[in-house]
Amino acid sequence: MKKITIAIDGFSSTGKSTLAKAIAKTLGYVYIDTGAMYRAVTLFSMRKGFIDAKHFSSEKLIESLDEIQLHFEYNGERGFAEVYLNGENVEDVIRSLEVSKFVSQIAEVKEVRTKLVQQQQNLGKAKGVVMDGRDIGTVVFPDAELKVFMTASTDVRAQRRFDELVVKDPSVIYEDVYTNVVERDRIDTTRKDSPLVKAEDAVELDNSTMSREEQYDLLLQLVRERL
């Protein structure tokens, strides 16, 4: 059967990855979480002391880019591919609010984007891929057969992210999560290189009041129309 490329972009915490994973499973496609790649580079930078609350040395990070090896490995129990940083499984540790606070600054660095976009294009070149992020339909796969741009109200998104985080860390404060979501969107939409914008030919999906099933059914319908 014909295989297509599915690009899912949108604002933070719009449920992109949940939807992308579900559709990839149904279609037997590879799912790639590109946010996880930017998060892994952020974790690397934090561990090396290149970034903290007071300073960020993009020069040091750029010099060290060759030391960063990322790969994905499928975890059968979880049903998706987890991200590895230099051989270490960092899938869970990169989800912390700490990493979220710095990731958009790292994602602004042109050299970081060039490296990761190249890897993403390689990972998806055989098609049969669902990739989510901020620039998949605009930069990584501008020819993707299906592009979806996801949005939802800020309150809904912050609440979703808070609900996810508080299970792992009960000390998380809602206001901090809300501020982080707003701040990441601000940086992501205003950066010079590959800002978050809806591709002209993307289908917009505002899921503020949609259930997961409704979103899934709509996406599957859009896929079928393109097969």
Binding site for ligand C5P (CB under 6 A): 12, 34-35, 38-39, 103-104, 107, 133-135, 184, 188
In DSSP terms, 1 is beta-bridged to none
- CB of 2 within 8 A of CB of 28? no
Residue 18 among known ligand-binding residues: yes
192 is in an annotated binding site: no
To the question of whether residue 10 is assigned a binding role by annotation, the answer is: yes
Q: Is 15 annotated as a binding residue?
A: yes
In sequence order, the 6+-apart residues with CB closer than 8 A to the CB of 15 are: 150, 152, 160, 207, 212, 215
Q: How far is the CB of 104 from ligand C5P (least distance, A)?
A: 4
Return the number of the residue (185 or 219) whose C-beta is nearest ligand C5P. 185
Is 13 part of any known ligand binding site?
yes
Between 153 and 217, CB nearer to ligand C5P: 153
By beta-carbon proximity to ligand C5P, the closer residue of 89 and 227 is: 89
Question: How far apart are the C-alpha atoms of 128 and 119, rounded to whole Å?
Answer: 16
Least distance (Å) from ligand C5P to the CB of residue 221? 24
Closer Cβ to ligand C5P, 95 or 127, answer by number: 95
CB of 77 to ligand C5P, least distance (A): 21
Rounded Cα–Cα distance for residues 160 and 180 (Å): 13
Going by their DSSP bridges, the two strands 80-85 and 88-89 should be labelled as antiparallel
Q: Which is nearer to ligand C5P, 169 or 225 (CB)?
A: 169
DSSP E strands, 55-102: 70-75, 80-85, 88-89
d(CA 79, CA 149): 24
The CB-of-100 to ligand C5P minimum distance in angstroms stands at: 7
How many CB atoms neighbour CB 88 within 10 A? 11
Could you tell me the smallest distance in angstroms from the CB atom of residue 101 to ligand C5P? 10
Query: Binding site annotation covers 17?
Result: yes
CB 14 within 8 A of CB 72: no
Binding residues for ATP: 10-18
Binding residues: 10-18
